[in-house]
Amino acid sequence: MSLTITATESIRNRSRIQETQETSETPTTSLNSVNKHVGSRARTRRIILGMRQEKLGEALGLTFQQVQNYGSGTNGVGASHMVGRS
């Protein structure tokens, strides 16, 4: 499964992250917004592909609850985990 991002989306995302970092938010709040953004992108891509949480979880070696938590941004996906799965 590929979660591709166009150059325009990448620039927009970078701008959003920079804006978040420049505000008076605490690092935890910034991290939560990044988790929600990444989770939202992964969830959107999963839905576009017509894939159920259970099926994606099986493919990644996760439970559907973990997929659900990543998709909602409740749990953040570590960069090393994402690279290992891409």
Cα–Cα distance list, 39 to 22, 24, 56, 61, 78 (Å): 22, 23, 13, 17, 11
pLDDT tens digits, one per residue of 36-51:
888 888 889 989 999 9
pLDDT tens digits, one per residue of 16-69:
666 655 555 556 667 788 888 888 888 899 899 999 999 999 988 889 898 888
| The architecture CATH gives domain 7-85 | Orthogonal Bundle (1.10)
